[in-house]
Chains A and B, each alone.
Chain A
Amino acid sequence: MELFLICLIFVSVIAGIIGSLFGIGGGIIIIPVLVLLFHVSIKEAIGASIISVIVTSSAAASVYIKSDVVNFKLGMLLEIFTVLGAITGALLLGVFNPKVLLIIFSCVLITSSFFILAKKKNSNLHYEEDRISKYLSLNSQYYDESDNKIVKYQPSHVSYGFISMYVAGLISGLLGIGSGVFKVTSFDSIMKIPMKVSTTTSNFMIGVTACASAFIYLVRGYINPYITIPVAIGIFFGAIIGTKMLYKQHDNTLKHIFFVILIAIALEMIFRAFGIL
């Protein structure tokens, strides 16, 4: 029993470190680990993951929001859509067969791995006048310490952002992950927001999105406290260690190894869903 707990905490710490290093959160790693190594049911693994997502997001957000990088207004506006998506996803969780969930999770895992591989530091920012953005005064600015200058920006294509955030919320609610990769990608590629603002605002939003689905998971009995508490503690401390570790963003070898591991995990989960393994 004690060994099970210790192993669970240890593995969660590792998941937290890896998640933090690659900026994807621990959820996407801990779910396959719980299912494949600890033989926890996929729904309980998802329940444990969603609580860990709230813990790490709240802890990170408490640090980020002291700076002026987070765009609170944009985050709050988009939270309407991520929360709606999360509620839809959490309700669908009860409908789907565990095998279908394994397949959906594997597909999201494969997509996320490609996003991580293709992750770039900054995309070309060319802003277009947006009515919603102008009406709600969503434009903002922040001081970029690395470039030693003030960066001004205005979110573009906010209405497309609503749709992409609903999808991100749906994935989060259905699979118990933060879906930060999808949020950051839509901030960066669709709304043309600087990468620093994208990552911090996305992190700020993840907790609220997860909160909506966590209520539903809790009441439905998908949150097993005997699994959730060790996993949440492990991922929390793993994320702290991960942020303190020196990591070179351009270390492509590490990125490629991680990509191969994620694809292998996804394939194993698909094989398991089809009863091949």
Chain B
Amino acid sequence: MNIRLSNVLKIFTYLSIAISIVLIFIMVLKGSVYTHFPYKYNSIESFLYSNYILHFNFTSILFVPIIIIILAPLARVMLSILEYIYEKNIKFVFITLIVFSLLIISLFLIS
């Protein structure tokens, strides 16, 4: 369990950092820095369908490493559920499912 969890976390973290480093170089070349991000969203729909996220532009690409890194703990919890099912530890399958559900709920709370 430990090795699998460790590998999942490593993949998400290093992938996110590698993409971020590439994007930093592009940011330097483009000279694009906004200290005050002008876009505010009120729901998941407005976040996803705003011109800056789903449309293919530099700002939307900048969100890629951020979303990858946010998904790392979620992937870890999902893997834990599978591991506890494999171990037939019903109590902890239930506990881990609660944590997972809370994380999913947090995604939709804003909508």
- A-to-B contact residues, CB < 8 Å: 1-2, 4-5, 9, 38-41, 44, 51, 54-55, 57-59, 61-63, 65-68, 72-73, 76-77, 79-80, 83-84, 86-87, 90-91, 136, 207-208, 210-216, 218-221, 223-230, 232-233, 236
Contact = CB atoms under 8 A, between A and B. Distances in A.
Given A76-B96, A219-B110, A223-B66, 17 more contacts: A1-B28, A1-B33, A51-B70, A54-B72, A66-B3, A84-B102, A136-B92, A208-B103, A211-B73, A220-B40, A220-B41, A225-B66, A229-B23, A229-B24, A229-B62, A229-B65, A229-B66
Contact of B47 (A44, A208, A218, A229): A218
A67 B13 CA distance: 19
B24 A54 contact: no
Residue from A58, A72, A213, A230 whose CB has the most chain B CB atoms within 10 Å: A58
Contact of B92 (A73, A208, A225): A73
24 contacts: A54-B70, A55-B17, A58-B13, A58-B72, A58-B76, A59-B10, A62-B9, A63-B6, A72-B80, A76-B80, A76-B99, A207-B9, A207-B73, A207-B76, A210-B73, A219-B41, A219-B110, A220-B40, A220-B110, A221-B40, A224-B37, A225-B37, A225-B63, A229-B65
Contacts of B76: 58, 61, 207-208
Contacts of A236: 13, 17
Report whether over half of chain B's contact residues are helix, strand or loop; otherwise say mixed: helix
Interface of B: 1-3, 5-7, 9-10, 12-13, 16-17, 20-21, 23-24, 27-28, 31-37, 39-41, 43-44, 47, 59, 62-63, 65-67, 69-70, 72-74, 76-77, 80, 91-92, 95-96, 98-99, 102-103, 105-107, 109-110
Nearest to B34: A226
Contact of A216 (B27, B31, B99, B110): B110
A168 to B, nearest CB: 15
Contacts of A90: 106
Nearest to B102: A83
A4 B33 contact: yes
A189 to B, nearest CB: 24
A80 B98 contact: yes
A234 to B, nearest CB: 10
Contacts of A40: 35-36
Contact of B74 (A80, A211, A223): A211
Nearest to B72: A58
Contacts of A84: 102
B110 A55 contact: no
Contacts of B7: 62
A77 B62 CA distance: 34
A207 to B, nearest CB: 4
B110 A211 contact: no
Nearest to A50: B70
A5 to B, nearest CB: 6
B20 to A, nearest CB: 5
Contacts of B110: 216, 219-220
Contacts of A87: 102, 105-106, 109
B5 A83 contact: no
Contacts of A38: 35
B13 A224 contact: no
Contact of A212 (B3, B24, B106): B106
